[in-house]
Structure 1
């Protein structure tokens, strides 16, 4: 499986400010479905240290998640801010009404080390519970899910304020599928990077700006663990080649 992928990073507190530009709330539908949507158990996999997952964030009724470039950047910044202490990101793709992430949950020691950088008054109840009982795997699942939910709430609050709207934006619960083995992991990474082509948004997935493919090719990212991707694909050239070979398999039909 995917071993030794975590690169230790110092957790830096960030303010909750929003770079969103204003917009018209009339762009949204007046009536919303409830954010709680029925989700099969296969899409609610528990989070365990050392395992990888495919996470999908979908909007309610196809509402637009990103209205401009700054929205995309803020979404990724918030994702990193909340999730960096507990996981490493291996791939992402942001589309208008949903986003895909491939992540790897950090081991207990790395999570504890990362939480140690957070000042006491910023620690959540889930963080404190895990720190007091790090061998309890159920607390890791609770911690990761709480951090993801806090990330989603942070983004929704910022968007609501910028667009003078109220209410939910994401379907709940978010979907997560545990990845089983290296073949599944490679498929998930390529599928995610090629998702814009799969949906017919672009003819070539490399034309889509908000995919981690560009981070890896450019060898720079504040979101993706590029070193881990390089080890897994045995170098950048092989990473590019595998995408070119397999991309046609992953963009047909609906996801």
Structure 2
């Protein structure tokens, strides 16, 4: 869970939680800021198929980008010469991007609310997705997490997940077309979210629902 390497081209469930009874997101602007920083840090190294931000935790379904894309972004960030004979440790590079995201966000929250100390419980957690059914069920599991934890009555009521964006025609950095192609149609995608849902194999309802 903590030491799973983020290998190039592989799929993962990535998630984390705030410390104690604290919240990661206190107001609308916090959610928007986190997503902006996510786009800066993570989009260059991973494709995103689904996400959900809740007051005290988050979930993402991602695919790490292939080695050539990771190498290109690594060289850009580190200003490494293109002929350098030593390729980076790709899993370490990707997880460092997540660490930079969380650390930078925590510092911004601490400054904004005159807060001190850690904001996230520990290292970013991740599970590799190796089965098609796991991928399919995880999409709905992520989108319906706010309902399970009592933040809203239906998944479409929650503004801070990818569910509405996947069903929209607005520009997005999500892998919208791939998700809709996976289900065949938008109607099939939405209908799947209405089915009775248990956590996918290997998952549980990890985090509590205080607000």
TM-score scaled by structure 2? 0.86
Q: Which one of the candidate residues 90, 96, 99 is aligned to 2:55?
A: 96
User: 1-side partners of 2:119 and 2:188: how far apart?
Assistant: 38
Tell me how far apart the structure 2 counterparts of residues 77 and 131 of structure 1 sit (CA, whole Å): 32
Indicate which of 185, 192, 204 corresponds to 2:154: 204
State the match for 2:163 in structure 1.
Answer: 213
Higher helix share goes to which structure?
A: 1
Partner of 1:66: 25
Q: Which residue of 1 aligns with 2:37?
A: 78
Note the residue ranges of structure 1 that are not aligned, 5 or more in a row.
1-41
Gaps of 5+ in 2: 207-211
Answer yes or no: is the 8 Å Cα contact 1:108–1:134 preserved in 2. Answer: no
**8 Å contact from structure 1 (residues 219, 226) kept in 2:** no
Q: Which moved more, 1:76-85 or 1:237-246?
A: 237-246
CA contact (8 A) 1:112 1:131 kept: no
Counterpart-to-counterpart distance in 1, 2:141 and 2:82? 33
Instruction: Kindly provide the CA deviation profile for residues 97-146 of structure 1, in whole angstroms up to 9, marking residues without a partner as x.
Output: 10011110111122234456x4xxxx24xx8599846766xx11000011
Deviation at 1:199, TM superposition (A): 1.0
Measured against aligned partners, the alpha-carbon deviations of 1:47-68 in whole angstroms (never above 9, x if no partner) come to 1111111111211103111111
Give runs of aligned pairs for residues 110-129 of structure 1, distance below 5 A. 110-115=69-74, 118=76, 123-124=77-78, 128=80
Equivalent residue pairs, number: 203
